[in-house]
């Protein structure tokens, strides 16, 4: 007991500086992400699809809109058409490459738009709480009550067909779930002492939200949003399948799947190709978001 | 607990020689001449705060967290506040700092009622009152580097990038860290180091009053001693005024010039730490002192304080301590004991003293004492 009491005296007041290499949080996350094999495969697949869609004119000699009526529904592996042709004799590979432009756009854009809006709504509601927070979140709950695809169809139908409107419709569908994730994350953060410290410094609410709250709620939101990309592509494909998204003859995976439906007994493999790409993209997004969650979760302290 | 001697020399040794200390007295703070008169820096009067708690769908109950708390703190001194968990120490701190709005009462800083101020005037007064937080883990933003965390208050007050960098370096040296630590992230530092950063951030705006809320409770005993010594050292150098909140009587005694003992949101005793140890008056204070483990193994363990802390939802009538007090009398349930000066500079709120004292009673007759 006596010895214990003397411990403080015996310990010299050294600066308790551990020999820790200063390494930033982001550097740590990047290393961990790069070491995740499944994540890297998913990212490579997405990058490959995006680049291929962008440089499609360089990869294919055909026009995606003009077909050859004498060469309709050729099987996979035909001479000159490695992935066959569709019901109008257009080269499938070309159409799939060009189709990636719209499909990836309608996958990414709604997620980006809804993440920005949803985060602002959720963080504000979470930080302010009280009546303002209640009104905001109950409004979101009302949107959330509808099944995602039903809501997208309803909004899209009222706005009219077209790519812009389908992007808008999907964005609105995603705002509610993202704002709920943001609100929950904010409510966990605001009772921590560093928020009080920021308030003591005299910072405004907007400043605290931006510099103290946002960086700490961004992880769950980002992980959730990256998982939505796949869903967004599926919904966008569904909308164009129903004739509310991209208009023919512009290639888009969802619509291509729809129009090749009739050929499913003639050329089942060709008809399944757009669906396969939708599957690959949405799987890759989910795998990327899983890898990201693992990488970001260093130890939240 | 024995505090190490010669500690402050060791703490000083952490500071590289030739460091230009920017003292908090640059500018507006009083000169040593005025300090000797110890003007009242902070005057808190009749502070009251109730929190509403939902008990059912439409019913609410109120927790009386702080009830009629008044005290003053003189410039350059340290006021210690002790009490059990949940006695309203932290709420008092947050009320003083304006993090929570009080239901009643006033907080006057240098004679200016802080609550009546608005806008930039309020911001100017508020920057003079800062806080060192309890939990070294949640007190620092995990996504901000140490430098960014310390510079945040400076950024809010519009200091330039160069000024911020200069100030970060000075502050890190003042709290015994290296300037390279500015690029570290909180998860790369130990609890003691984080608490030093926490202190550096509190000092960033050159405050006059620093409230340390359980600032060392989460640390190991040896690191506690280092941080306490750092705090006393900084107090001397920067002429800081502290409100030091802790549940640890030893720590409060070591740090304080005056001590407040709180129980269930009320002040029960107010005196110097010497008087608190030598001649405690309130039965609760005596029980608290008796509960400190003694280093002497031959000393029989003191009788523990009986009963639970009553629910703050329905505090006992009259004296709030009466349900656990061995010396409770009928008057204790009927009337709230007033705060009386029993001895010079020694205040107590207990019916055992003053006009309502039972005939022939003095503190010698009160059970619970082991001093």
The verdict on a CB contact (< 8 Å) between A16 and B142 is no
Q: Confirm if B19 and B186 have CB atoms less than 8 A apart.
A: no
Instruction: Supply the pLDDT for residue A62.
Output: 84
| Least CB–CB distance from A16: residue in B187, B190, B204 | B190
Please tell me the predicted confidence (pLDDT) of residue B358. Answer: 67
Mean pLDDT of B224-234: 91
How far is the C-alpha of B260 from the C-alpha of B88, rounded, in Å? 12
User: Which residues of B fall within a CB distance of 8 Å from A207?
Assistant: 156
Partners of B133 on chain A (C-beta within 8 Å) are 193-194, 196-197
Query: Structure pTM?
Result: 0.74
Least confident of A3-12, A94-103, A223-232, B312-321: A3-12
Residue B256 CB-half CA count within 13 A: 29
The alpha-carbon gap from A192 to the nearest alpha carbon of chain B, in Å, equals 6
Q: What is the C-alpha to C-alpha distance for residues B205 and B209, in angstroms, rounded to an integer?
A: 11
B311 falls within a domain: yes
How far, rounded to the nearest angstrom, does the alpha carbon of residue B86 sit from its chain's CA centroid? 14
Q: What is the pLDDT of residue B172?
A: 93
Q: Is residue B155 included in any domain, yes or no?
A: no
Q: Tell me which architecture the domain covering A51-59+86-296 has in CATH.
A: Orthogonal Bundle (1.10)
Burial B7-19 (b: 16+ CB within 10 A, else e): beebbeebbeeee
Least confident of A41-55, B49-63, B197-211, B253-267: B49-63
What's the pLDDT at B7?
Answer: 43
Structure-token match 């509403």, residue found: B52
Residues A96, A253 contacting (CB under 8 angstroms): yes
Q: For position B37, what pLDDT does the model report? A: 52
String of DSSP letters for A6-23:
HHHHHS--------PPP-
Token readout for B314 is 């329905």
C-alpha atoms less than 13 angstroms from C-alpha of A78 in its C-beta half-sphere: 20
DSSP single-letter state for residue A24: -
Long-range contacts of A33-40 (CB under 8 A, 24+ apart): A33/A291, A33/A292, A33/A295, A36/A291, A36/A294, A36/A295, A38/A287, A38/A290, A38/A291, A39/A287, A39/A288, A39/A290, A39/A291, A39/A292, A39/A294, A39/A295, A40/A291
Res. B157: pLDDT tops 50: yes
Residues of A whose CB is below 8 A from B129: 200
Please check whether residue B46 is in contact with residue B106, taking contact to mean a CB–CB distance below 8 angstroms. Answer: yes
Nearest to A83 by CA among A55, A255, A74: A74
Q: How far is B234 from chain A (nearest CA, A)?
A: 15
- With CA atoms as reference, the chain A residue closest to B142 would be A301
C-alpha span between A106 and A232 (Å, rounded): 7
Q: DSSP for A250-264? A: S--HHHHHHHGGGGT
Interchain CB distance below 8 Å, B152 and A299: no
> What whole-number distance in Å separates Cα of residue A37 and Cα of residue B288?
59
Say whether pLDDT at B5 is over 50.
Answer: no
Whole-Å CA distances, B236 to B38, B78, B233: 14, 11, 5
| Contacts with A23 from chain B: Cβ below 8 Å | 188
Residues of chain A neighbouring B145 (CB-CB closer than 8 A): 24
Q: Does B193 sit within 8 Å of A16, measured CB to CB? A: yes
Which residue is associated with the tokens 């004492």? B369
- Does the pLDDT value for residue B365 go beyond 50? no
Q: CB B99 to CB A200 under 8 A?
A: yes
Q: Which residue has the tokens 């240098």?
A: B110
- Mapped onto helix, strand or coil, the DSSP state of residue B51 is strand
Closest-CA distance, A44 to chain B, in angstroms, reads: 28
Q: Distance, in angstroms, between A231 CA and closest chain B CA?
A: 30
CA distance A43 to chain B (A): 25
Which residues touch A140 (CB under 8 Å, ≥6 apart)? A121, A122, A175, A176, A179, A180
> DSSP assignment of B313-359, as one string?
TSPPSSSTTGGG-TT--HHHHHSPPPPEEEETTEEE--TTSGGGPPT
Q: For the residues A181-186, what does the mean pLDDT come to? A: 94
Residue of B nearest to A10 (CA): B4
Best B99, B127, B132, B143 residue to mutate vs chain A (most A CBs within 10 Å): B143
Considering Cα of B89, then B95, then B101, then B106, what sign does the dihedral take? positive
* pLDDT (average), residues B32-47: 71
Calculate how close chain B gets to A4, using CA atoms only, in Å. Answer: 9
Please tell me the predicted confidence (pLDDT) of residue B24.
Answer: 40
Would the CB atoms of A207 and B3 count as touching at under 8 Å?
no
**A12 touches B: beta carbon within 8 Å:** yes
Q: How far apart are the first and last CA of chain B?
A: 18
State residue A177's pLDDT score.
94
Strands B209-213 and B129-132, bridge-based pairing? parallel
Predicted local distance difference test score (pLDDT) of residue B303? 61
pLDDT value at A19 more than 70? no
Kindly indicate the confidence band of residue A170, based on its pLDDT and cuts at 50, 70 and 90: very high
Please state the domain count of chain B. 1
How confident is residue B38, by pLDDT bands cut at 50, 70 and 90?
low
| b/e sequence A252-287, b meaning 16+ C-beta within 10 Å | bbbbbbbbbeebeeebeebbebbeebbebbbebbbb
Chain B residues with CB under 8 Å of A8 CB are 1-4, 221-222, 224-225
Q: Quote the minimal CA–CA distance from A73 to chain B in Å.
A: 56
**Chain A residue numbers touching B141 (CB-CB < 8 A):** 194, 212, 215-216
Contact A200 B123 (CB under 8 A): no
Please state, as a whole number, how many other Cβ atoms lie within 10 Å of the Cβ of residue A68: 15
In a domain, B154, yes or no: no
Given this model, what pLDDT does residue B230 score?
A: 92
In this predicted structure, which of A205-209, B113-117, B202-206 has the lowest mean pLDDT?
Answer: B113-117
SS (H, E, C) B16-30: CCCCCCCCCCCCCCC
Say yes or no: A301 contacts chain B, CB-CB below 8 A: yes
Pairing of strands B78-82, B241-246: parallel
Nearest chain A Cα distance for residue B371, angstroms = 21
Question: What range defines the domain where residue B346 resides?
Answer: 285-365
Q: Is residue A113 over pLDDT 80? A: yes
User: Tens of pLDDT along A42-99?
Assistant: 999 999 999 999 998 888 888 888 877 787 778 887 788 888 888 888 888 999 999 8
Q: Which two tokens stand for residue B224?
A: 């506690």
CB contacts under 8 A, A 187-206 vs B, are: 192-194, 196-203
Calculate mean pLDDT across residues B114-121. 82
- Interacting residues of A145 by C-beta distance below 8 A, sequence separation 6+: none
- How far from A122 is each of A134, A144, A203, A297, CA to CA, in Å? 11, 14, 20, 22
pLDDT digits (tens, 9 = 90+) for B159-168: 998 899 999 9
- Residue range B208-225: average pLDDT? 88
Q: Which two structure tokens, joined as six digits, stand for B13?
A: 């040794």
Of A12, A198, A202, the CB nearest to B10: A12
pLDDT single digits (tens) A190-206: 889 999 999 888 888 89
Mutate to test the interface with B, among A8, A19, A29 (most CBs of B within 10 A): A8
> Which structure tokens are listed for A52?
């291929």
Given a cut of 90, whether residue B200 has pLDDT beyond it is: yes
Beta bridge partners of B109: B42, B112
% of chain A beyond a pLDDT of 90: 31
User: Is A22 within 8 Å of B188 when comparing Cβ atoms?
Assistant: yes
For the segment A282-286, the average pLDDT, to the nearest whole number, is 87
Residue contact B142–A25, C-beta within 8 A: yes
Distance CA B201, CA A201 (A): 10
- Average pLDDT of the segment spanning A131-156: 91
Q: Judging by beta carbons within 10 Å of its beta carbon (0-12, 13-18, 19+), is residue A55 exposed, middle or buried?
A: exposed
B206 within 8 A of B144, measured Cβ to Cβ: no
A159 pLDDT more than 60: yes
Q: Quick check: A8 contacting B, CB < 8 Å?
A: yes
């Amino acid at each position: 007991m006596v010895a214990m009491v003397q411990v403080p005296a015996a310990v010299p007041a050294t600066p308790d500086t551990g020999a820790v290499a200063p390494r930033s949080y982001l550097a740590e996350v990047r290393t961990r992400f790069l070491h995740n094999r499944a994540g890297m495969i998913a990212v490579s697949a997405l990058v490959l699809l995006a680049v291929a869609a962008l440089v499609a004119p360089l990869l294919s000699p055909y026009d995606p809109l003009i077909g050859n009526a004498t060469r309709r529904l050729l099987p996979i592996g035909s001479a000159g058409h490695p992935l066959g042709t569709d019901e109008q004799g257009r080269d499938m590979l070309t159409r799939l490459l060009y189709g990636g432009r719209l499909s990836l756009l309608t996958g990414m854009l709604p997620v980006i738009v809804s993440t920005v809006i949803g985060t602002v709504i959720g963080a504000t509601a979470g930080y302010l709480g009280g009546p303002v927070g209640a009104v905001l979140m109950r409004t979101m709950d009302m949107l959330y009550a509808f099944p995602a695809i039903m809501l997208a169809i309803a909004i899209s139908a009222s706005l009219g067909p077209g790519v812009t409107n389908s992007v808008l419709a999907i964005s609105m569908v995603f705002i509610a779930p993202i704002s709920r994730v943001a609100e929950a994350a904010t409510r966990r953060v605001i009772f921590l002492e560093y928020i009080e410290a920021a308030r003591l410094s005299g910072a405004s609410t907007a400043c605290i939200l931006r510099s103290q709250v946002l960086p700490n709620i961004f992880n769950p939101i980002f992980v959730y949003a990256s998982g939505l990309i796949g869903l967004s592509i599926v919904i966008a494909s569904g909308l164009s399948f129903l004739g509310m998204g991209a208009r023919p003859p512009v290639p888009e995976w969802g619509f291509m799947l729809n129009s090749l439906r009739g050929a499913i007994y003639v050329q089942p493999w060709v008809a399944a190709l757009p669906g396969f790409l939708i599957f690959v993209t949405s799987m890759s997004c989910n795998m990327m978001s899983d890898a990201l969650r693992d990488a970001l979760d260093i130890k939240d302290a | 607990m024995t505090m190490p001697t010669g500690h402050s020399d060791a703490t000083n040794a952490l500071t590289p020689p030739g460091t230009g200390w920017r003292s908090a007295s640059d500018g507006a703070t009083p000169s040593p001449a005025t300090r000797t008169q110890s003007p009242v820096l902070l005057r808190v009067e009749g502070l009251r705060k109730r929190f509403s708690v939902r008990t059912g769908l439409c019913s609410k109950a109120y927790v009386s967290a702080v009830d009629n708390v008044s005290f003053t703190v003189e410039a350059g001194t340290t006021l210690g506040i002790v009490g059990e968990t949940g006695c309203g120490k932290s709420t008092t701190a947050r009320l003083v700092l304006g993090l929570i709005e009080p239901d009643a009462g006033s907080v006057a800083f240098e004679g200016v009622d802080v609550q009546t101020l608005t806008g930039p005037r309020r911001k100017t007064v508020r920057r003079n009152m800062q806080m060192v937080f309890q939990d070294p883990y949640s007190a620092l933003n995990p996504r901000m580097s140490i430098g960014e965390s310390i510079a945040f208050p400076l950024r809010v007050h519009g200091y330039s990038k160069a000024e911020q960098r200069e100030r970060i370096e000075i502050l890190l040296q003042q709290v015994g860290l290296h300037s390279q630590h500015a690029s570290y992230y909180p998860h790369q530092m130990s609890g003691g180091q984080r608490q030093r950063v926490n202190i550096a951030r509190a000092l960033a705006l050159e405050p006059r009053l620093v409230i340390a809320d359980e600032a060392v409770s989460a640390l190991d005993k040896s690191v506690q001693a280092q941080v306490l010594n750092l705090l006393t050292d900084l107090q001397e150098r920067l002429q800081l005024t502290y409100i030091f909140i802790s549940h640890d009587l030893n720590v409060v005694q070591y740090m304080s010039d005056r001590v407040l003992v709180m129980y269930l949101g009320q002040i029960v005793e107010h005196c110097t730490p010497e008087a608190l140890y030598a001649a405690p008056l309130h039965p609760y204070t005596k029980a608290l002192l008796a509960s400190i483990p003694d280093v002497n193994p031959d000393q029989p363990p003191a009788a523990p304080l009986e009963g639970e802390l009553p629910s703050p939802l329905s505090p006992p009538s009259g004296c709030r301590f009466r349900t656990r007090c061995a010396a409770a009398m009928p008057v204790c349930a009927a009337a709230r004991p007033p705060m009386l000066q029993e001895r010079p500079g020694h205040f107590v709120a207990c019916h055992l003293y003053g006009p309502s004292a039972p005939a022939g009673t003095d503190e010698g007759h009160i059970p619970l004492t082991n001093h």
